[in-house]
Structure 1
């Protein structure tokens, strides 16, 4: 059981790390929101499963936390993306990049 729990903890930590890297590497705010939300949600749930396997007495509390994560992360990210779109923030496009580093349009 300890090995399976450790495996879930490592997978959760890896997805959380990938989400953090995605926040840095993605070209615009919409891609960053998606990378952060999807990867970190999966990473958090894997971490919660790993903790639940290590400490079975905590499963009810961890289940509540997991449900809240599943509800709030996607809802929050879609609300932020919608607000940015209404504020006029344009999505990134594959335009050519000039010598100044600015995208030509």
Structure 2
């Protein structure tokens, strides 16, 4: 027998809701990656899906293991910190690289580089 049988029903329901909602957000991010048209639209959906979905899934993990062990378990916070820091940074780097490439190639619809102030 594992410890899952000893979880109270309200806590199990909260864990299930967080887990399903997080999985749904991650799925929506994946669907957005496939369905959106341009590269610049596509990078937002998985980023938001992974950030919000990750937070809910890690919340369910914290609740589950804290209930099983009978003490507060916060190992997942380290995962959340790393993903919260690296996801937006990698998004900005990828978009800036694509924007520089599109400007160099003269792609239509790309905003021009703003001139620097001469003051």
Shorter-chain TM-score range: 0.7 to 0.9
**Count of aligned residue pairs for this structure pair:** 93
Structure 2: gaps (5+ residues): 1-10, 111-119
Equivalent of 1:77, from 75, 78, 91?
A: 91
Which whole-Å deviations, capped at 9, do the CAs of 1:13-68 have from their partners, x for residues lacking one?
00000000000001111111111101221001110001111111583220000011
How much is the aligned-residue C-alpha RMSD, in angstroms?
A: 2.0
| Ranges of 4+ aligned residues in structure 1 off by more than 6 Å | none
How many angstroms apart in 2 are the aligned matches of 1:53 and 1:91? 49
Structure exhibiting the larger radius of gyration computed from Cα positions: 2
Higher relative contact order, chain-length normalized (CA < 8 Å, sep 6+): 1
Equivalent residues of 1:18, 1:39 under 8 A apart: yes
The answer for the alignment partner of 1:61 in structure 2 is: 75
Structure 1: gaps (5+ residues): 94-105
How many angstroms apart in 2 are the aligned matches of 1:15 and 1:91? 32
